[in-house]
Structure 1
Amino acid sequence: MLNLFTDNITKDSMRPLILFLGDSITADGLYIRLAGEWLRKHRPDLAVELAARGVPSETASGLSEADHPFPRPCVHERLTKELAEAVPGVVVACYGMNDGIYHPFSEARFAAYREGMLRLSAKIREAGAKVVLMTPPPFDAASMNGQLLPAEASGFSYLAPYRDYDLVLERYAEWLLSGICPADGIIDLRTPLLEHIRQERSLNGSYRYGDGIHPDASGHGVIAQTLLRELFHAEPGDMA
């Protein structure tokens, strides 16, 4: 639990807006809505606002695969404006899913992700807000409808990803969890979501975790539970 972070968020001196930045998983907003609904019902004393400002296809690295229908947007193209308009007390950011651009691991792409996350954290702190980084959710190949490609293939994209792309995301998550990127808190989404997928599939072998990239409603529920537990010391139970 992010004890210091939670203590700060409840102080009167802390601005009450929590700004969520991320890609299409954040743009969907379901996990943010679930968390907000729980807080309004069970913790009305916390006068905080949760603002979802995710952008589909976005990265922190500035990379884009050749087969993407348009160059992927990068959070750094809008970050200054978002921070100035929202004036958040806390920014929660989740990037990584798109940053490996669905290719096998490469040091160059990994370096671009690290540099992008370091810049993101520094810019948020310069704006006077707390920084909370979330690990990228897992990629679940078993839930994919499209083609999965071996490492020796070419033309990787979100429509035809590397079949072991989750190993790339594992590397990105491990780097975040190492604490090398300065932040007031790091939230591990990967571990509870992998456990959720394993549990659901043990009960139903045909369980689909959304489309393999974007979580289903139950996955969003797990993210909301994790946020509430880590940010607010809450134990909301099943939110799916």
Structure 2
Amino acid sequence: MLHLFTDKITDKVIKDSADLRILFLGDSITADGLYIRLAGEWLRKHRPDLAVELDARGVPSETASGLSEAAHPFPRPCVHERLAKELAEASPGVVVACYGMNDGIYHPFSEARFSAYRAGMLRLSAQIREAGAKVVLMTPPPFDAESMNGQLLPAEASGFSYLAPYRDYDRVLERYADWLLSGSCPAEGIIDLRTPLLEHIRQERSMNGSYRYGDGIHPDASGHGVMARTLLRELFRAEPGTWPDGEDTGRTLQDIED
């Protein structure tokens, strides 16, 4: 569900879309960019009248908080290290940002880490607006412990990392998502990715108990399909039945790769 605090984002995309560039910022999920490529393919096929460019500039391991776990092989990059340059180069009309997965650094919840995430997101939103662009924030996707190959640690353990995450890390991400959805971070719109992805995982696992949602952190292709459909529905008012689903997602992926 898109939580719009004004209707200007959708109206801008739909009604005044000449040469509109939408810049996507995020971590490795956005760096993979499959959901953005799927959305772009749909727009080219179904909305050729829209002169909209989707510009994916995600960076693996990135955070908005500036935090990094000790076990990470290098200090995690922070979007604020590159934000001014990206905004100047892209000159976007809209920026879609998705952070949170890495910001809890795979630890149990702590107020200090949550505060760093909030501060980073508030700074991100403010700087985007100062550059003259509209802000759309997406909640972090869920963490699916059942899909993890690595060790899952209890809260009393130590040495948490993306390789050995807190087993209930998704509860941390839920709090981060709830904060965004509350409207506490200024933005023209908030897109809830978490809810449709959790429903997707539930449905897939009800049909196939061995279903794996990627590696538990990074969605599989079908998860990216859900993200693309959510983005298209909420930002471009795409109608159900016109986008790829199930096996069609694979054919769309093949079309893009070709």
TM range (shorter): over 0.9
Residue of structure 1 in register with 2:171 after alignment? 167
DSSP-derived class of the 1:19 partner: strand
- Is 1:135 the counterpart of 2:139? The answer is yes
Match of 2:156 in 1: 152
Q: Which residue, out of 7, 10, 14, partners 2:11?
A: 7
Match of 2:85 in 1: 81
Residue of structure 2 equivalent to 1:214 = 218
Q: Does 1:95 align with 2:99?
A: yes
Following TM superposition, by how much is the alpha carbon of 1:10 offset from its aligned partner in structure 2, in angstroms?
Answer: 3.4
Runs of 5+ in structure 2 lacking a partner? 250-258
- Work out whether residues 108 and 169 of structure 2, in 8 Å CA contact, stay in contact via their aligned partners in 1: yes
2:112 maps to which residue? 108
**1:10 aligns to what SS in structure 2?**
helix
Which residue of 118, 122, 138 maps to 2:122?
118
Tell me the secondary structure at the aligned position of residue 196 of structure 2: helix
Distance in 2, matches of 1:116 and 1:11, equals 32
Query: Does structure 2 conserve the Cα–Cα contact (< 8 Å) formed by 1:15 and 1:88?
Result: no
Task: Check the 8 A contact 1:14/1:89 in 2, yes or no.
Answer: no
Whether the 8 Å contact between 1:15 and 1:89 is mirrored in structure 2 is no
Residue correspondence of structure 1 range 35-74 to structure 2 within 5 A: 35-74=39-78
Q: Distance in 2 between matches of 1:208 and 1:151?
A: 24
**2:20 corresponds to which letter in structure 1?**
P
Q: Distance in 2 between matches of 1:211 and 1:10?
A: 35
What SS is found at the alignment partner of 1:49? Answer: strand
Post-superposition shift, 1:6? 1.1
Match of 2:198 among 194, 207, 219: 194
Question: How far is 1:15 from its partner?
Answer: 5.2
Once the 2 structures are TM-superposed, how far is the Cα of residue 5 of structure 1 from its aligned partner?
Answer: 1.3
Instruction: Report % sequence identity.
Output: 87
How far apart, in 2, do the equivalents of 1:173 and 1:237 lie? 27
Query: Residue 37 of structure 1 aligns to a residue in which SS?
Result: helix
- Cα deviation, 1:28-52, whole Å, max 9, x if unaligned, reads 0000000000000000011100011
Partner of residue 34 from structure 2, selected from 30, 35, 49: 30
Structure 1, unpaired ranges of 5+: none
TM-score by length of 2: 0.91
Are 2:238 and 1:224 aligned?
A: no
184 and 150 in structure 1: CA distance in 2 versus 1, 3 angstrom threshold: same
- Checking the alignment, whether the CA contact within 8 Å between 2:66 and 2:116 is kept in structure 1 is yes
**1:166-223 CA distances to partner (integer Å, 9 max, x unpaired)?**
0000000000000010000000000000000000000000000000000000000000
The match for 1:204 is 208
Q: How many angstroms does 1:8 deviate by?
A: 1.5
Residue 256 of structure 2 is matched in structure 1 by none
Amino acid at match of 2:90: A
The equivalent residue for 2:254 is none
